[in-house]
Amino acid sequence: MVAGGVAPPLVSFFVYVKICGLTDPGHVDAAVEAGADAIGFVLTRSPRRVTPERAAELAARVPPEVLTVGVFRGEDPATVREAALAAGVRAIQLHGRHPHADFMALKDLGLTLIRAVDAEADLRCGAYDESLLLVDAPRAGSGEPWDWSAVRGRPTGQWLLAGGLSPANVGEAVAAARPWGVDVSSGVESAPGVKDPALISAFVTAARAAA
């Protein structure tokens, strides 16, 4: 309390929401309607992988205010460039320990670059000339919750928390880590690789409520 017995105003913040691993037009529409800020298409080895051509079809359904992201893991910059251009996405996410040179090699595309790493990496957003940082679980892609509080206060800039998030726990995760945004894939699925529109909507609602 402050002088006069008046409590200071609560500080609130907006949670940016990315829904990743979409493969179906109806699920893309559901994510847009739910208010997602970004939608990810996996263009690397994964049960949720789509071809660049399929990603282009899906991305065409997304309005310009929603960021479309091509997700890669371990591919060389030339391969990433070719696939991203074919897919027509507006952002590239490089997952894992890609060197700084990989990001620099893609800068000329003018796309948003996202660096996705675990908590042991350099957590300064922009350190590799990326626009956004994504901090994932130690076992990326496992869908298992982890100690989100371990990264609280460590990442800088615009960064997203990922790893084991779901509508049921995203509020807890946001409170524990205080991220700028959140990213979810398996946590909004009814079966491996199959998104559930109701869960997508519930996740966006819960993430925003956590703010």
| Token couple for 33 | 């309607």
Distance, in Å, from the CA atom of 173 to the CA atom of 164, rounded to the nearest integer, reads: 9
In the chain, beta strands by DSSP E: 16-19, 38-42, 67-73, 91-95, 112-118, 132-136, 159-161, 181-184, 189-191, 194-195
Q: End-to-end CA distance of the chain, in Å? A: 22
Distance, in Å, from the CA atom of 211 to the CA atom of 201, rounded to the nearest integer, reads: 16
- Residue 181: which of 134, 139, 115 has the closest Cα? 134
Active site residues per annotation: 20, 136
**CB-count burial class (<10 Å; 0-12, 13-18, 19+) for 185:** buried
Pseudo-torsion of CA 148, 150, 152, 154, nearest 10°?
A: -130
Locate all alpha helices (DSSP H) within 60-166, ordered by sequence: 77-87, 100-104
